[in-house]
Structure 1
Amino acid sequence: MSALEAFALDGRVVIVTGASGGLGAEGAAALSDAGATVVITGRREQKLAEVADRIRAAGGCVHTRVLDMTDADAVRSAFAEIAETIGPFDALINNAAQAHQAGVLDVTDTDWARIIDINLTATFTAAQAFLRLRNTTRSTAIVNISSLAGVIGVRGQAAYVASKTGVVGLTKALAVEVARDNVRVNALAPGYFATDMPGEVLADEAATAVLLRKIPMRRLGEPAEIGPALVFLASDASRYMTGAVLNFDGGYTAQ
């Protein structure tokens, strides 16, 4: 297999959660460009349709499914239906997540439960469903999206940091458990990107300037830059890599 062939996803079925915008949408587009049949899920039907239209306009094959990832029964049912109609899954991009900014004394029980549910529990639910429905004829991959907040502490983000750190631990536990089943499980930990997610920070020019000084590259990530990293982790290019956390943050966590 040549280096270029290793990155190809022709004939592969890849499901991307939380793909109605931001990094999920960009990742889905890149996976499609690499040849994958992409299934995108999210809670915003119109936004999913817009992402699908973009992928189809570029010649890709995409299917959409409106799905609340915190509804475990709905997730299991949807994954089973998709696998039956489209084919067994070759890769899962566990991207659905929600940010939360609040001082530790202001985090309510409801806040905590909501963030853990969508960012960590839903990641496990999707991974479990994928493992039951994966393509067993070749190497498959789970890519869990963590965050730089899963690697370091971030002020005012106790619930988010806990959830994303949990994603890192879950990734490692799954990786060692399913390695002999020809399944790779890795995590991608993005830093600050120009998306809606760090909106509160980016809305303030002074806060943005402070943030940029903390990033060695002195810039935010461009959403489209996430795509090649996801293609690498979903494809045979990373076939001997499992249980790893790939920091993707302009050098932020290297300091």
Structure 2
Amino acid sequence: MNALDSFRLDGRVAVVTGASGGLGAAAARALADAGATVVVTGRRESHLAAVVESVRAAGGTAHARVLDIAYPAAVREVFAEVAQSHGPLDVLVNNAAQAHQADVLDVGEEDWDRIVDVNLKGSFFASQSFIRHRNTGRSVSIINIASLAAFVGVRGQSAYSASKAGVVGLTRALAVELARSDVRVNALAPGYFATDMPGEVLADEAATAALLRKIPQRRVAKADEIGPPILFLASDASRFMTGAVLNFDGGYTAQ
């Protein structure tokens, strides 16, 4: 078999959470380009429709389901519906995330709960539902989107950093537990991308300049750059990899 064939996802079903824009939408496009049937989920129906349209315009197959990942009952319902409509699931990208820029004394209980509910609890229950409806006939893949904030201190992001560190721990625990079931669980830890989430920083010229001095490549990434590592982790190209965390941050955490 040609080595490039191992990156193909023809006949596979992938679910991407938090896919109404940014990295989730880019991940969905990459998976569809490789041949997967992609189901994008998120809270913004009109944005999901735009992502589906862009995938289909490029010749791919995509569908949308409205979902707030913070509610486990809704997660179970949507995943069961997706599996019934499209068949057993092969790939899950846990991308849905909530951030809140605030000094530690200004973080309220509601802020904390929402961030942890989306970033960590949501990733767990989406993974649980995926496992229940997975394709048991071949190796399947869960990709958890962590963050450089799981490994380095980021001012004003105490709750977000804690949740993403939890995602790393969850990744490793699930990888060990599920290895013999042919379920691979890995994490991708992005750095700064030109998306909505770091918008406050990137909108300020002085703050952007200060940020770029911390990144060895001296740039932020474009959203579509997330596609290749997502495809690697989703496909059989990474079949002997589980429990790994790939830092994808322009060298930020190498310092």
Into which bin does the TM-score normalised by the smaller protein fall? over 0.9
Matched residues in 2 for 1:152 and 1:175: separation?
Answer: 23
Give 2:213's aligned amino acid.
R
1:14-93 pair list within 5 angstroms: 14-93=14-93
2:247 partner amino acid: N
**Aligned position for 2:145:** 145
Shift of 1:85: 1.1
User: For residues 195-250 of structure 1, what are the alpha-carbon distances to aligned partners after superposition, in whole Å with 9 as ceiling and x for unaligned?
Assistant: 00101111110000000010000000111100011000000000000000000000
Q: 1:206 matched to which residue of 2?
A: 206
* Alignment correspondent of 1:252: 252
Q: Partners in 1 of 2:11 and 2:151 — Cα distance?
A: 34
Q: CA RMSD, aligned part only? A: 0.6
Structure 1 residue 156, shift from structure 2 partner? 1.1
Aligned residue number for residue 163 of structure 1: 163
Match of 1:10 in 2: 10
Counterpart residue number, 1:231 = 231
Spell out structure 1 runs of 4+ moving beyond 6 A.
none
Question: Counterparts of 2:143 and 2:236 in 1: how far apart (Å)?
Answer: 13
1:188: which partner in 2? 188
| In structure 2, C-alpha distance between the alignment counterparts of 1:163 and 1:247, rounded to whole Å | 17
Q: Deviations over 1:98-149 (max 9, x none)?
A: 1111111111111111100001000001000000100000000000000001
User: Equivalents in 2 of 1:218, 1:93: separation in Å?
Assistant: 28
Secondary structure at 1:62 match in 2: strand
Equivalent AA in structure 1 for residue 127 of structure 2: A
Counterpart code for 1:202: L
Structure 1 SS opposite 2:247: strand
Aligned counterpart, 1:99 = 99
Matches of 1:166 and 1:27 in 2, distance apart? 22
1:95 aligned partner, one-letter code? N
User: What percentage of residue pairs aligned between the two structures are identical?
Assistant: 70
How many Å separate the matches in 1 of 2:13 and 2:27?
A: 14
- One-letter code of the match for 1:204? D
Deviation at 1:44, TM superposition (A): 0.4
Quote the residue 1:154 is aligned against. Answer: 154
**Structure 1: distance between partners of 2:203 and 2:47:** 22
Offset of 1:19 from its aligned partner?
Answer: 0.3
| Distance apart, 1:2 and its partner CA | 2.3
Residues 62-90 of structure 1: CA deviation (Å, up to 9, x unaligned): 01001111111011011001101100000
Which residue of structure 1 aligns with residue 216 of structure 2? Answer: 216
TM-superposed deviation, 1:253: 0.3
What amino acid does structure 1 have at the position aligned with 2:74? A
Distance 2:44 2:211 in 1: 30
Amino acid at match of 2:114: R
Q: Which amino acid aligns with 2:169?
A: G
TM-score, scaled relative to structure 2: 0.99
- Aligned pair count? 255
2:143 alignment partner, SS class: strand
